Amino acid sequence: MSSSDIKQKQTNIGRSNSLPNKDNQKTESPGEWPDGTKHYSFNQQEPEEESHGRKRIQSTTSLEARKVAKIIISSQRRAEPYVPEPAQFERHANAWGYLQALVPAYPSGYLKRQSYESSTRTGYLIGRSQNSDFRSNGTFVNGAIVGANQRILLRSGDRIQLTRHTKYDDDHICNLYYRIILPPNFEVGTFQEEYDCRKILGRGNFASVYLATDKETTGEVAVKIINKSRFERRPKMLPSVIQEISILMSLEAHPCIIQIGKVFNEPKYLYLLLEYVRGGELFDYVIKRKKLTELETRFIFLQLFCAIDFLHSRDIAHRDLKPENVLLVDHKTLHVKITDFGLAKMQNGQSPFVSQCGTPDYVAPEILDSTGVRAYGRECDLWSLGVMLYICLCGFPPFNDERAPPPMKEQIKRGLFEFPEPYWTNIAPEGTKDLIRKLLTTDPAQRITAKRALLFYIVI
């Protein structure tokens, strides 16, 4: 074999990893990928058997060549560090935040304000609603999952992930989808810097409510102050507070529901600034009057049925309706607003609530189920309204331990109540009593809804 033959043979082996054959010659046709990188397609025949019985090594086909080229291009691109596009809030004055993509596969975007009032808030909430995130893996913020219909406080620099990491995923791509960036002027002063507390309005198990004045505008607000040290002793309290904030922030304005303003999340205290209502609690109004007229009661409850229908249409149950949680805007107009959403909760689809909560005198029988299979829904609010309607008209509750036996809990579970004389003589038309019966139905599936109660009370 001549030296030229040896060189030719080495060249052919280097190109195709196969022995040279006149019938196995390759023709190269240059091509170009979309990014300008050149590639070559190879046309060849099937390999023939060698004389020693071994198959020749097959050359790379056109499809395999493309795969190889893509891998090379991908590795070259990964080698180049990706620099996220910075926020430019000076060009987007109406943006409350910037969703910065941390991988090139996802676009960045600005989050527009729905109202300019939100620019003064100290935090935003991110969460999943039934109609927004259908991924079974869920939404994650800083590695923690956000359940359906749940909300969490969102701060500048938080990282948002839309799929769960698996061992087959690239850690960088999977875990760092987005970063939320808030405007430089987003942070506000402390509560003490902006407001003066004037007097206490009420105390609860978890918080105190004060009347406060805005130092700049002199506007009055009710501020709910929560000591964070209580979260350490009662860790389940924090999700309840976040739930209250998220529900109030997510709701559109309604004339019969209290509105939330700012939220100050400070190291030791959490401050919830709420709309201040001057007229006080419905409870005090009824106690002072001993009972209300049928006309007064009707006007108040038309508002309450309207507000509860609004909440239920958004899958929200208040779960602690009572006269203490209804505020009067004005005693002359009897305009009322529902407040205290500390036990409120969003219902996820058809999934029932299971926790026992509420105030004993107003709690629905399905919540008192002690068999271990407790499950209830938004209908519990209508039972509470039935108890309230009864009290407003006669001045005392339908269920009471003074009427034992049976004890009050058993009275509620069995729906044992009546309209005793002379207390109910000429108090209300029979239609109003019928509405109370429909509200105090022990079977929640048969209980009247807020929308039907509203229509029923209008026409009777």
| Residues with pLDDT less than 50, the chain | 6-7, 9-31, 33-35, 37-60, 116-124, 126-136, 168, 171-174
Residue 268 labeled ligand binder? no
What is the pLDDT, as a whole number, of residue 277? 95
What is the pLDDT, as a whole number, of residue 123? 45
Whether 374 is in a domain gets the answer yes
Whether 59 is in a domain gets the answer no
Q: Are residues 150 and 299 in the same domain?
A: no
What would the DSSP string read from start to end of 20-66?
--GGG--EEEEEE-TTS-EEEEEE-PPPPBPTTSPBPPPPPPHHHHH
Which of 181, 205, 227 is the C-terminal boundary of a domain?
181
Amino acid at site 90: E
Q: Are residues 159 and 214 in the same domain?
A: no
Q: Are residues 301 and 410 in the same domain?
A: yes
Whether 25 is in a domain gets the answer no
Q: Are residues 427 and 290 in the same domain?
A: yes
Backbone phi, psi, residue 161, to 5°:
-125, 135
CA distance 261 to 241: 15
Which of 181, 208, 232 is the C-terminal boundary of a domain?
181
What is the pLDDT, as a whole number, of residue 408? 95
Q: 76: which residues sit within 8 A by CB, 6+ positions away? A: none
- Cβ distance 336 to 323 under 8 Å? no
Q: Are residues 423 and 340 in the same domain?
A: yes
Domain count, the chain: 3
Amino acid at site 442: T
By annotation, the residues acting in catalysis are: 320
Q: Are residues 232 and 323 in the same domain?
A: no
- Cβ distance 317 to 311 under 8 Å? yes
Q: What is the CATH number of the domain that holds 118?
A: 2.60.200.20
- Cβ distance 432 to 460 under 8 Å? yes
Q: Which two tokens stand for residue 405?
A: 């036996």
Q: Are residues 289 and 420 in the same domain?
A: yes
Whether 32 is in a domain gets the answer no
Give the residue ranges of DSSP H helices in 290-429.
294-312, 380-394, 408-414
Q: Are residues 219 and 250 in the same domain?
A: yes
CA distance 154 to 380: 32
Q: Are residues 107 and 222 in the same domain?
A: no
CA distance 292 to 289: 7
Whether 291 is in a domain gets the answer yes
- Cβ distance 362 to 388 under 8 Å? yes
Whether 339 is in a domain gets the answer yes
- What own/partner pairs with CB < 8 Å and gap ≥ 24 does 92-100 have? 95/183, 96/124, 96/182, 96/183, 96/186, 97/124, 97/156, 97/180, 97/181, 97/182, 97/183, 98/180, 98/181, 98/182, 99/160, 99/178, 99/179, 99/180, 100/178, 100/179, 100/180, 100/181
Backbone phi, psi, residue 426, to 5°:
60, 25
Q: Are residues 271 and 288 in the same domain?
A: no
What is the pLDDT, as a whole number, of residue 51? 45
Which of 240, 260, 275 is the C-terminal boundary of a domain?
275
By residue range, what is the domain housing residue 110? 89-181
Q: pTM of this prediction?
A: 0.67
Q: Are residues 407 and 329 in the same domain?
A: yes
Give the residue ranges of DSSP H helices in 176-259.
191-194, 229-233, 237-250
Whether 17 is in a domain gets the answer no
CA distance 230 to 117: 30
Residues in the chain: 460
Q: What is the CATH number of the domain that holds 423?
A: 1.10.510.10
Whether 126 is in a domain gets the answer yes
Q: What is the CATH number of the domain that holds 201?
A: 3.30.200.20
Q: Are residues 271 and 302 in the same domain?
A: no
Q: What pLDDT, in 10s, does the model give residues 401-421?
A: 888 889 999 999 999 999 999
Q: What pLDDT, in 10s, does the model give residues 225-244?
A: 999 888 888 887 888 888 88
